[in-house]
Amino acid sequence: MSDLWQSMGPQIWPAFWITIKLTVYSAIGALIWGVLLAAMKVSPVPVMRGFATVYVNVVRNTPLTLIVLFCSIGLYQNLGLTLATESSNFIATNNFRLAVLAFVLYTATFVCETLRAGFNTIPLGQAEAARSLGLTFTQVFGLIILPQALRTVIAPLGSVLIALTKNTTIASVIGVAEASLLMKSELETHGDQILLIFAIIAIGFMIITLAEGAVFGWAAKRWAVKR
């Protein structure tokens, strides 16, 4: 027990800090890209609707591990795409950013579908009234539809964020030093304490996800749309 704690203890917070950063950066990017995809899916332009529909259906049904590996092997190793400047920790930084890119591309599809469900809760007459006043699609979407939809789907978006937090463990396949990679490395040296290692990592994720659930549950009640 003492040997495990001496080896694992100092690394727990840095590993979960990487997990938290992966979650935050990916969530921000996924929200932005997801809103754009949702706007394209309800756009009056057929090409945009077609692109968004194909993108969401393909990416959402592709295993996340493949997307992460595509960003690392396909974009970086084969196409030479780098998202970090040359430095002593270039590989670690670049792999972290490639993992964020993969999570953004994948999670945005679920954000898009969640928002689209929120659009369906808004009375059609509001959009028609706005168009009759001369507002463009962008104005109707940005000023009337999106704000109400976001307030309607706060709780479902919280579920998407929790799923994203757990999905960050896949970043370990390209060497990102988050919590699951720490677990794997400790299992190699302390395999006789497998249950304890699992418990420590599981408790860490529970703390993060329960906090997210509490915040989004409060926000859903605080900003619920009154009808």
pLDDT in tens, 13-45: 888 999 999 999 999 999 999 999 999 999 989
Residues 6+ apart with CB under 8 A from 22: 96, 99, 100, 103, 168, 171, 176, 178
Report the C-alpha gap between 71 and 69 in whole angstroms.
5
pLDDT at 6 exceeding the cut of 90: no
How far apart CA 58 and CA 8 sit, in angstroms, is: 39
pLDDT > 90 fraction of the chain, expressed in percent and rounded: 50
Q: Is 219 exposed, middle or buried (0-12, 13-18, 19+ CB in 10 A)?
A: middle
Q: Which of 4-8, 92-96, 101-105 has the highest mean pLDDT?
A: 101-105
Average pLDDT over residues 171-190: 82
**Residue 122, pLDDT score:** 86
Query: Would you place residue 2 in the very low, low, confident or very high pLDDT band (cuts 50, 70, 90)?
Result: low
Residue 1 is predicted with a pLDDT of 59
**pLDDT over threshold 80, residue 179:** yes
Q: How far apart are the C-alpha atoms of 100 and 121, rounded to whole Å?
A: 31
With a cut of 90, say whether residue 136 has pLDDT above it. Answer: no
The residue type at 120: N
Gap between the Cα atoms of 189 and 172, Å rounded:
18
Please give the Cα distance from 118 to 136 (Å, whole number): 20
Q: pLDDT-based confidence at 10, cuts 50/70/90? A: confident
